[in-house]
Structure 1
Amino acid sequence: MSMNMGWKEEEDASPDVQKFCNEVKASIEKKLGKKSIYNAINFRAVETKILYIAKVHVGNNECVHLKMSQSLPCYGGEVKLEQFQYPKSKEDDIEPF
């Protein structure tokens, strides 16, 4: 059985993905401390587009991989940080976790 579970291929980050990353920024800053840069680079989504993993540049060659979920619009559309992986580099591929 494939562990891919419907994850799409990696894509360049869109303004919507940056927006989702911004919505969980305070949660990440509590865990990692404030970072001077916070730019989404690329992402992967599940076919349903309710679960995302994004690579976010946080300074120098450091990145954090964010796993985020979004509730359905009828339930408010809230974006929630599920998990994160840190430290990561710009060269690290985004792998489902």
Structure 2
Amino acid sequence: MMPGGLSDTKPATPEVQQIANQVKVQFEIQANMNCVVFAAVEYKTQVVAGIIYFIKVQVSDDEYVHLKVFQSLPYENQGPSLVGFQTGKTRDDPLTYF
């Protein structure tokens, strides 16, 4: 992966689910949604001064959202923050930069 470029799509890991869980409330407030289901499905990363995660999350039987989450460098000791999202996605929509 070239620096600054997006990684290949990978299946979500427990670590990625934890990151999604940490920004769930931020997402629900900003999107004005209440998500009973919030399951990370797959993700891509972009290395910057930290890592940007693009995460596809299932929020209902047939609805998905794409989250853009920034995780700062470990020494900065800050949790992940939601920097953008796209709603109205399907299981088959590819994760792309936004």
How does the TM-score come out when normalised to structure 2? Answer: 0.88
1:75 corresponds in structure 2 to: 76
Deviations 1:53-97 (A, max 9, x none): 000000021001000001111111410000000010111010111
- Unmatched 5+ stretches in structure 1: none
- Unmatched 5+ stretches in structure 2: none
1:42 corresponds in structure 2 to: 42
State the secondary structure of the residue aligned to 1:51: strand
| Structure 1 residue ranges (4+ consecutive) displaced by more than 4 angstroms after TM superposition | none
How many equivalent residue pairs?
A: 93
Alpha-carbon distance in 2 for matches of 1:32, 1:93 = 24
How does the TM-score come out when normalised to structure 1? Answer: 0.89
Q: Percent identity of the aligned residues?
A: 32
Give 1:84-95 correspondences, 5 Å limit.
84-95=85-96
RMSD: 1.3
Look up the equivalent residue of 2:34 and give its one-letter code: K
